[in-house]
Structure 1
């Protein structure tokens, strides 16, 4: 009997243990299943997701992989319920693997189809994680999919599900680090974190948001308060609450003039500064103005590296570039603010045409046809008067020609009053009236030539500029492609070069040495002409014309708000007013700097010896010829 009991015990104990273990696992599984069902029936997550994803047209769900049956079952049931509640296309991703969730009523979604939706909060992301550390590491990796497609315009919801079978405890500080990751790496603002506790805590869930601008910390909210939170990134950027926004701004004429009245009182003047100041006022941020770290000014691209303020934008060291820039392809991850205020022409500054010599200026007072007619009238008059005088007196032809010249020059001749022949009197009277009119016109033209110097024709076309052979210098490397799009301007493109020199040095070279020309904007060119009057000229034909605007990093969370405010400033006429005010101030400054060379035609001109050098030259030639004739007369007397 005892042996029979041993046999029964040996056979029954393993079965008993097996059944006990199965019952234990089944009870745990049933308990976990109940916890999952309780979570799916919990209204907290669904109310938050409906509010947060209300404007979404597509949802990307990212699930962290975990070899756990409870986790996989919970996530699978959650995805099914998500599709039923939201009724929008869902893309399911596990880390780097991309796949479409195979729901019965869900059609395959392609990336091209997804990108048809506009980026203004139409694409939302749900991150489902099993620990706060896993969420932090996932957001830290910005090179994987879909992290590299995250933008500040989308809505984000992080769901962290904690269970005793996989959660080993953690720190709440990790949630704040995750929020900071999203802000510093992706500029994401509209994000909510929900922590769901399954069988490890008395409470059911926590809802957390982050105040990026005021307290810079994690804030716990209740489900009732979620409806009062900003529903998009645009609402969050409406009031930045004094947040420090990094701005790069350079001294640039005529829109950003840096002035220092004392060592501690330095500020900018001009339209760019007024725009920045008003943006800071209405968005309620504190601008922190800095210069490019490398000192390369506006910046440019060298191979794969960006420099200057352009590099600060690309590498997101600043939030706004407050200097106007041409809207063109810089091959960089930047955006332009809208609307563009106006267009700016690119022009070429060349040396002013040389002054016409006095003798040539006087000869050009009348046309060649007039000079021929005047000579013909003089010859006919000389011959006719010679014939009439020979009838009554003996006179040589040379003497008669000199007397006729004196009459045409309205000189006083004593013998004219002694002429008795009526025919000669009529001839002399008509000649005197003719010469009076001609000499008055000649003297007035001569006075106008002296008072208003005349110059040779200026270079007004790119074709004439090409014929000069002058090198074209620009101070902005981004303008080296100005002449590239036209085959007719190939010679100009070959002569275009960049130099790291100051504006004043280059302008002095153009004005004084006349051996170069400068490519710049028309606004700056007009300012330069005021500093160097009658020495520089702007070629009328413009090679390019760009819209101008400001630069911000690609995907900036402030973009839409800035676009809105700039549009209001432009429509209200404020931008035009600031331009006019800056132009007036700079014109006064240009007049002060260029008054030594400025020739003001509105006031009386003080003549100098240079203005009458031709007259003195004629007098000297006349005295020299008279002296020679006098000596010849004395020798042959």
Structure 2
């Protein structure tokens, strides 16, 4: 007999030397040799007594030997579906077991050779069987079950936990179940009989003969209903997920039955440990596959598996988009703050330089008449003190900086050279200012958006999440100090159909979403996505644990990715959304007429200047009137 590493082999020698017993021994030997896993022997109510079970000296001693009382099979739950997520059983080695609970961990790592009376077969299928292991059930007592009873039991086992690798020995024949065989009456399921062989029903996975696969599909990121509100079959959807489902349907010749979601869509784990949505459907095997993409991460259950990755996506923060800068503020933001400060300092510096030049020239031109001619001063200014002349220099300097016409240009060459230089500089500044101002009016400008997580941390905004699982999905508490700070900002709002767009805009809080979601749902322009996304995930479909068609599904996904079809389907959705957006929200024209709001600052300056001028006029008028009265009373 072939020795296989990790396989505990035992050989049963029946005392009787009849032909039937010889064939039974041969079948047992072939079952053990065809297994690449540990083989566990199970005897119900000492169906095989210790005296009748002999071990060949040249074989390994079996380390997994279970003698069960039939009472342990009564009222048992299906251990194959027990979720050991929170209390995994460490693999240990025992010489023998007396309780069913002692071999729970073997369900994942062992094949089973079971000796049992016929009346306990149904209980064994309920308590022990799970999809990954193989089972050879040898009936030790009469009566042998009818074919119809075996078909019913194996079909129920297939529906309940998806197990197919079950072989029942009837005389010299091995019986197994093929659920994908289509009968003449349209039903599915047939017993296959082999003579001393262990061919699995998996040979029929390439053609399911129209077998109904229960799939879950609902509107998601890349999946949309063709007609709003009509979602009765897979054909009522379009997008890459539905296209993968349709491809699987064609390749395997299957029928897709759409399972209605409970309203929780993807679902999550509740505090009491129960699941909702698609997660619950897959865990309960109510669905065979959910053709909606899930993040490949820990969902705190071992009852589901992931398919091959379909694509990847970023998990990002969204915040309220920066508001548009009012048009009347455009003249102020044409230059940066530092440039405005530089211009102000230049004005002060220019006044100082011109004042120094004038001070030096005053030593050359000493008489009032010469000063009035050379400095081109009004007669009343020339007669006033030096402070009045310097004040006039201050006013003329600002006139030059804004490129306004200077009423009186000095005749002194040194001052002419200086004023000409200032005029050239102010000409460039005004030209740049006017061109920048025109650009601001033609192209709307906005305040700065938040671009990094550090800037977001400084904003003190709260982060709204819809599911408790997102608490660690985006910001693990045990990561960097920045992530820990942002983790403490998260606020849970478990509200169905929570609209993150309204949350960010109306409540001025941040939200969490997939990067592609806003792009596909035509909401990309309504909020701002912080470019620095904290997490990137691969996404795939979820299936029941050890689903028999998992390999076929993975091969279909990988072939579609290799051919570039999934990326093509994704781009088709993006193009369709952009086309719909351009039709419903046509772009604004590049040119538009200026409105009163655009020139509000100019009118405000005009109004303030007019008010100040009027006030000064009233003051001067009152002053001159008062002076005129004083001259009337002089002798």
TM bracket, shorter-chain basis = 0.7 to 0.9
Structure 2 equivalent of residue 37 of structure 1: 18
Aligned to 1:462: 453
* Mapping for residues 2-13 of structure 1, pairs under 5 Å: none
CA distance in 1, matches of 2:173, 2:223: 49
1:132-184 CA deviation, whole Å, 9 max, x = no partner? Answer: x33223323x2xxxx1xx4323333333355xxxx357543211122123312
Number of the residue aligned with 1:179: 154
Cα distance in structure 2, aligned partners of 1:193 and 1:520: 51
* Residues 93-104 of structure 1 mapped to structure 2, 5 A cutoff: 93-95=66-68
Question: Structure 1 residue 474 and structure 2 residue 465: aligned?
Answer: yes
Which of 122, 125, 128 is 2:115 aligned to? 128
How many Å apart are 1:245 and its aligned residue? 1.1
| CA offset digits 1:467-496 (Å, max 9, x no partner) | 433332123332133433347344533442
Which of 480, 486, 495 aligns to 1:492? It is: 486
Are the structure 2 counterparts of residues 502 and 626 from structure 1 closer, same or farther at C-alpha, using a change threshold of 3 Å? Answer: farther
Aligned counterparts of 1:279 and 1:96: Cα–Cα separation in 2: 45
Contact 1:56 1:123 in 2 (8 A): no
CA contact (8 A) 1:154 1:233 kept: no
1:180-209 CA distance string (max 9 Å, x none): 23312331123333312xxxxxxxx45433
Aligned to 2:562: 571
Aligned residue number for residue 630 of structure 2: none
Q: How does 1:101-250 map to 2 (within 5 A)?
A: 123-131=110-118, 133-140=119-126, 142=127, 147=128, 150-161=129-140, 167=142, 171-196=146-171, 205-215=172-182, 216-219=188-191, 221=193, 223=195, 231-232=199-200, 234-250=202-218
Distance 1:621 1:431 in 2: 27
SS of 1:301 mapped into structure 2? coil
- In the aligned structure 2, how far is the partner of 1:577 from the partner of 1:617? 56
TM-score by length of 2: 0.74
Counterpart-to-counterpart distance in 2, 1:378 and 1:583? 58
In the TM superposition, residue 212 of structure 1 has moved relative to its aligned partner by 0.4
1:270 aligns with 2:257: no
Q: Name the SS for the 1:189 alignment partner.
A: coil
Is structure 2 residue 439 aligned with structure 1 residue 439?
no
Separation in 2, partners of 1:365, 1:453: 19
State whether structure 2 residue 535 is matched by structure 1 residue 544.
yes
Structure 1 residues 233 and 615: alpha-carbon distance in aligned structure 2, compared to 1, 3 A threshold = farther
Match of 1:515 in 2: 508
More helix by share: 1
1:556 partner SS: coil
Aligned mate of 1:62, from 33, 38, 42 = 42
* 8 Å CA contact retained: 1:279, 1:562: yes
1:22-53 CA-to-partner distances (Å, cap 9, x unmatched) read: xxxxxxxxxxx9965221233x7736862795
Q: SS of the residue aligned with 2:21? A: helix
1:91, 1:109 within 8 Å by CA — same for their partners in 2? yes
Cα 1:400/1:573, change in 2 over 3 Å = same
Matched, 1:351 2:345: no
How far off is 1:286 after superposition?
A: 1.8
For the 8 Å contact 2:168–2:174, the answer to whether it is kept is yes
* Structure 1, gaps ≥5 residues long: 1-32, 99-106, 197-204
CA distance in 2, matches of 1:556, 1:296: 23
| Post-superposition CA distance 1:430-483 (Å, at most 9, x none) | 333222111111112222333344444433343443443333212333213343
Aligned counterparts of 1:426 and 1:526: Cα–Cα separation in 2: 60
* 1:394 correspondence with 2:384: no
1:379 aligns with 2:335: no
Question: Which secondary structure state, in structure 2, belongs to the residue aligned with residue 585 of structure 1?
Answer: helix
Give a deviation string over 1:72-131, Cα, whole Å, max 9, x none. 57x976x658x7999895743333699xxxxxxxx97689xx999997xx8432333333
Partner Cα separation in structure 1 for residue 15 and residue 275 of structure 2: 57
Does the Cα contact within 8 Å between 1:61 and 1:90 map onto a contact in 2? Answer: no
How far apart are 1:243 and its partner, in Å?
1.3
Q: Deviations over 1:232-277 (max 9, x none)?
A: 4653433322211111122112x21223079699722222222222
Aligned-pair distance for 1:589?
A: 3.5
Counterparts of 2:95 and 2:252, CA distance in 1: 39
- Counterpart of 1:291 in structure 2 is 260
TM-score w.r.t. the length of structure 1 is 0.74
Checking the alignment, whether the CA contact within 8 Å between 2:267 and 2:280 is kept in structure 1 is yes
Contact 1:345–1:544 under 8 Å retained in 2 = yes
Classify the secondary structure of the residue corresponding to 2:226.
Answer: strand
- Which is worse superposed, 552-561 or 625-634? 625-634
Give me the CA root mean square deviation: 4.0
> Which SS does the other structure have where 2:18 is aligned?
helix
User: Structure 1 pair 268/557, CA: closer, same or farther in 2 (3 Å)?
Assistant: same
Count of residue pairs brought into register by the alignment:
550
Cα distance in 1, alignment partners of residues 150 and 30 from structure 2 = 22
| 1:300 paired to 2:291 | no
Q: 1:437 to 1:72 in 2, by over 3 A?
A: closer
Ranges in structure 2 where 5+ consecutive residues have no aligned partner: 1-13, 73-92, 98-102, 183-187, 362-370, 382-388, 626-635
Give me the whole-angstrom Cα distance separating, in 2, the residues matched to 1:401 and 1:108.
Answer: 102
Q: Contact 2:225–2:231 at 8 Å: present in 1 too? A: no
Report if aligned partners of 2:296, 2:306 keep a CA contact under 8 Å in 1: no
For structure 1, which segment, 396-405 or 492-501, has the greater mean C-alpha deviation from structure 2 after superposition?
396-405
Q: Is the 8 A contact 1:527 1:590 kept in 2?
A: no
Q: Retained in 1: the 8 A contact 2:134–2:166? A: yes
The answer to whether the 8 A contact 2:151-2:190 is kept is yes
Are the equivalent residues in 2 in contact too, given 1:126–1:156 (CA < 8 A)? yes
Residue equivalent to 1:256? 223
> Does the residue aligned with 1:184 lie in a helix, a strand or coil?
helix
Instruction: State the 1:371 CA deviation.
Output: 1.7
Q: Distance in 2 between matches of 1:262 and 1:527?
A: 19
Q: Does 1:624 align with 2:611?
A: yes
**Aligned-partner Cα distance in 2 for 1:282–1:56:** 30
Q: Distance in 1 between matches of 2:63 and 2:255?
A: 40
Distance 1:567 1:222, change over 3 A: closer
Distance across 1 between alignment mates of 2:190 and 2:32: 18
